[in-house]
Amino acid sequence: MWAWKAIRLFLILYLVLLVVLMFLENHLVFIPMKYPRGNWRPEGLEFEDAWFQAADGTKLHGWLLAHEKSLATVLFCHGNAGNVTHREDVLRGLHDISGAAVLVFDYRGYGRSEGSPNEAGVLADARAARAWLARRTGVPEERIVLMGESLGGAVAVDLAAEQGALGLVLENTFSSLPDVAAFHYPWAPVRLLLRTRLNSAEKINRYHGPLLQSHGDGDTIVPYSMGRQLFDKANEPKEFLTIPQGDHNDSHDRAYYRKVREFFETLPKG
């Protein structure tokens, strides 16, 4: 009798915890930092404030770094936390070392962008960002390079799979969000409960273009094996770059951005 009561109490608490996780899903997946938090006036970084709207009217914001002799025009999709101000090193690396003009933007609910994030919303935001970048630079949308880190890699894959891209660069990107959740919460049936899918492994074979993918083999957030799984699903031409002992949020060195530059130099011209 006592054992049955204990089991029943455990099951009730377990179910309550699952319900709580379901209600908190968006807060666990998306961790935005709103304006004015962050360094909005980085010293020595010259950029243009980009303002545009998603298809549903949500007002969005980003930073555009122009380049007089750019090797590529890049749309950079950042990860699930922070805002554009936390990608200052990325912008400097892509602009100064890789030789790219680059737009980094905040999803809805991040930085100076309005609204609240969800899967459909952030994917729509990326479409709006690329359209704005094409209008602003005169570079056709299909000639823009898509680049994303972590969750932003999933956003970039979705856009590349749907509308193509001149090139695709992925950093520490997962196979799917349920795969990541199952890794961190092995005691919960997250594959069944998670509404946010971001299933890049299912989408990436619809992209037919050059791919440069990197992943740290010491990644404690998105396991290295998930990056390899995603890469295996991709079409040629593709290249995988292992970052020795690299963890998920480690900064990249100059050698990495030189490698990205080499990738840009191989992309079709004209």
Q: What is the pLDDT of residues 228-242, one digit of tens each?
A: 999 999 999 999 999
pLDDT of residue 9: 75
DSSP 181: H
Residue ranges in the chain modelled with pLDDT below 70: 1, 18, 270
Structural domain that includes position 209: 2-265
CATH number where 159 lies? 3.40.50.1820
109 within domain boundaries: yes
Buried b (16+ CB within 10 A) or exposed e, 127-146: bbbbbbbbebbebebebbbb
Instruction: Give pLDDT, residue 24.
Output: 82
Residue 180 lies in a domain: yes
pLDDT (0 to 100) of residue 269: 85
Residue 124 lies in a domain: yes
> What are residue 76's phi and psi, to 5 degrees?
-105, 125
| CA 239 to chain CA centroid, nearest Å | 19
Residue 148 within any structural domain of the chain:
yes
- Rounded distance between C-alpha atoms, residue 107 and residue 115, angstroms: 9
∠ CA 197-183-175, nearest 5°, is 45
pLDDT at 5: 75
Q: Is there a domain that residue 270 lies in? A: no
* Per-residue model confidence (pLDDT) at position 270: 64
Please write the tens of the pLDDT for every residue from 24-72: 899 999 999 999 999 999 999 999 999 999 999 999 999 999 999 999 9
- Using DSSP's 3-state secondary structure scheme, residue 166 falls into coil
Within-domain flag for 199: yes
pLDDT at 156: 98
**174 in any annotated domain:** yes
**Domain membership flag for residue 162:** yes
Counting the structural domains of the chain, the total is: 1
